[in-house]
Amino acid sequence: MVELRKNEHKTLLTIEKLSGKASVRQIMKESGLPDATIMRAALTLQDKKLVQILEKKQTIIWLNDEGKLHAKKGLPERRLVDALKNLAEKAPLKRTIEKADLDKQFIPIALGWIQEKKWAILNTKTNALQMLGKPKEGNDEKLLKLLGEKEQTTVEELIPELRPAVKLLKRRRLLETEEKTRRIINIAKAGWTAINKGIKVTAEVTQLTPELIISGKWQKVKLQKYNIKAPVAKTWPGKKHPYLQFLDEAKEKLITLGFKEMTGPIVETSFFNFDALYTPQDHPAREMFGIYFVKSPKYGSLNIYKHIVDKVKKTHEDGWKTGSNGWRYKYSVKEARRLILRGHGTCQSVRTLLSKDLEIPGRYFSIVRCYRPEVVDKTHLTEFNQVEGIVVDKNLTLQDLLGVLEKFAIEIAEADEVKFKPDYFPFTEPSVELSAYKKGYGWIEFGGSGIFRPEVTMPLNIKVPVIAWGLGIDRLFMLKAGIDDIRYIFAQDLDWIRRKGVV
């Protein structure tokens, strides 16, 4: 007669009741035992050759709230193209959006996908949409419809042509996935024999208590052996978000390289964000489509910087003493006082160059939150982080800048290769754009750099060269972590956060 513990006996008899073969979920439902208890019992039964455990990996998928919304109403691009179809297949963008009745947050998504799927084209001159043929229902829409009808399913149960759509909908943050192992437990031949002959249930002590020790009963009771192979409930210890951890590491490495951290306000004046960087007051980047304006108060004070403002004003108007002709327009101090949300980190460099604590030679950096009214897509956000750096020293050259950028990309983003190409910025000359490559990921553009022009440094009373760069550190993390969508960094994907290892 076979001797089994209580939970092993109950598990075996439950499987017998379920025709000798059952999943862990079925056994849980029938017996009322927790899954961890069932698996511990099953592993012991398997060691005794009484059962067999068959494992099958599965990816469970289900729609999140936004996915359920689109399953009900249709994807934003489908709703937009249907509206366009009802408007004779060609109509102004604004009218088409109104017809589609799209929420504001879905408008850029719909515009991006309607063109990526080649359902329609946007004429930027007339701001009108034109349909391109008859849009067919894609596999992403078919999968969305299927998941809208089901609470959840598995990738393995999908027909082959729908499986690639899982990755697409997950990238669009419309569905959630979870990797699970489905276990089926079969009663083996020896198990059936044991059931037929009868099973003796033995009582075992699972916890050694003070009472057992003091009374001496511990010598007479049977102690349960601890099965180290048995699965236990998953635990997720608290840890720092992977991206925040990356930012801390980047700061530590820059400080190790001799850089000091710069600070500055989020709400900035146009003077520091643009004017002091020799960006003319009629530059397109200063329009409402390029920057966020503060509604109230509209203007800040520049009184303590009056002598610097005067020099910048003259530089803009006629070049002052810089050897430049300037931008040749009437400079407005009132416009310079206009309050905005910081559009880039370079304004911190200007404040540092004006600081009484500036050291020459000196190295400075900042990692700051910046704001621009961008169209949100896989590489752009309206809020983003930028790592800014400057080096102030005699005899600095472009070669010094390229060396710093290369080291930065390789040391911090773990890039395999970097490349540079000429670029243009109003405040640097020469100007360089940095891109980096990582095997298995590809190339990604990080941002611009260059040597500050005399029109920037001279009004700030800086008489030595200054090399500067402003890079999208969000993209640096994307390269290091192998993420292809910048929105994923800030998504509340607990599964990814939990599984991301602690460095």
* DSSP structure string for 452-492: E-HHHHGGGT--S-EEEEEEEHHHHHHHHHT-S-GGGGGS-
Q: What is the pLDDT of residues 124-161, one digit of tens each?
A: 788 889 999 889 999 999 999 999 998 889 998 999 99
Between the alpha carbon of residue 16 and those of residues 43, 186, 188, 193, the distances in Å are 17, 9, 11, 12
Domains in the chain, CATH or no CATH each = 2-58+178-219 (1.10.10.10), 65-172 (1.10.10), 244-498 (3.30.930.10)
Q: Check residues 228 and 401 and name the one with the higher pLDDT.
A: 401
Give the pLDDT of residue 87: 92
Q: Is 41 exposed, middle or buried (0-12, 13-18, 19+ CB in 10 A)?
A: buried
Residue 360 — very low, low, confident or very high, per pLDDT cuts 50/70/90? very high
Q: What is the pLDDT of residues 270-280, one digit of tens each?
A: 999 999 999 99
Q: d(Cα 327, Cα 44) in Å, to the nearest integer?
A: 83
Q: What is the pLDDT of residues 183-222, one digit of tens each?
A: 899 999 999 998 988 888 877 777 788 888 888 888 877 7
Average pLDDT value for residue range 25-51:
90
Q: d(Cα 123, Cα 84) in Å, to the nearest integer?
A: 14
Average pLDDT value for residue range 37-66:
90
Average pLDDT value for residue range 442-455:
88
Give the pLDDT of residue 444: 81
> In percent, how much of the chain has pLDDT > 70?
98
267-457-283 Cα angle (round to 5):
55
**Residue whose C-alpha is closest to residue 242's, from 250, 234, 231, 253:** 250
Q: DSSP alpha helices (H): ranges in 217-375?
A: 242-256, 270-273, 306-318, 333-336, 346-354
Residue by residue, DSSP assigns 330-353 as ---HHHHTBEEE--STHHHHHHHH
The two tokens of residue 341 are 């949300």
Widest Cα–Cα separation across the chain: 105
State the average pLDDT for the chain: 88
pTM, rounded to two decimals:
0.59
